[in-house]
Amino acid sequence: MAIVSFPMVGDIDSFMTFPLVRRNNSLKKEMNCLSEVFTSAINGKAKEIVFTPAVEIYENNDAIDLRLEIPGLEVKDLDVQVTAEALEIKGKRRQETETQEQNLVRSEFHYGAFQRRISLPVRVQNNLVKADYKDGILHIHLPKSEADKNQVVKVNVG
């Protein structure tokens, strides 16, 4: 029976001689390189990437309330519409000109067009829908309705 000796705590060089540890470190280095290559490849095209904003949906007896996380926008860059079946949010997040002039090395922000279509579980009074954009969060309040007909209505964001 072979006797295995383990390195003393603090003797990291001895610990690195274990095949499993070497293999794990090698794999980690390869994954880091792959990540850098992928990030660099898309960095130049970041403006063209379409993203989907995160949403929280709340419902009670009277209304449906939504919160969408869309930081870095101006109200003029948002388009919110309600149809009989869905709520549709479109917009465009523009890259800041200061960032372009400062020799940006890496960016993980999402710029460009986005769209989110959310199916409505019930009919809403689309003429009473209210929207507000503050601190990067778009709040939308949709009062419920029993009406059979619903039309497309443009919602002003204030």
- Condensed to tens digits (0 to 9), the pLDDT of residues 19-58 reads 666 666 667 766 765 666 566 555 554 444 467 889 999 9
Q: How many Cβ atoms sit within 10 Å of the Cβ of residue 82?
A: 23
SS3 41: helix
Residues of the chain with pLDDT under 70: 1-26, 29-30, 32-50, 97-101, 147-151
- What is the rounded distance in angstroms from the CA atom of residue 74 to the CA atom of residue 54? 18
pLDDT for res 46: 43
Encode 40-79: b = buried (16+ Cβ within 10 Å), e = exposed.
eeeeeebeeeeeebebeeeeeeebbbbebebeebeeebbe
pLDDT for res 13: 53
pLDDT for res 103: 78
- What is the rounded distance in angstroms from the CA atom of residue 57 to the CA atom of residue 102? 38
SS3 92: strand
Q: What are the backbone angles phi and psi of residue 96, rounded to the nearest 5°?
A: -70, 140
- What is the rounded distance in angstroms from the CA atom of residue 89 to the CA atom of residue 84? 15
Q: Under 8 Å CB-to-CB from 123, ≥6 apart: which residues?
A: 84, 144, 145, 146, 147, 148, 150
Q: pTM of the prediction? A: 0.60
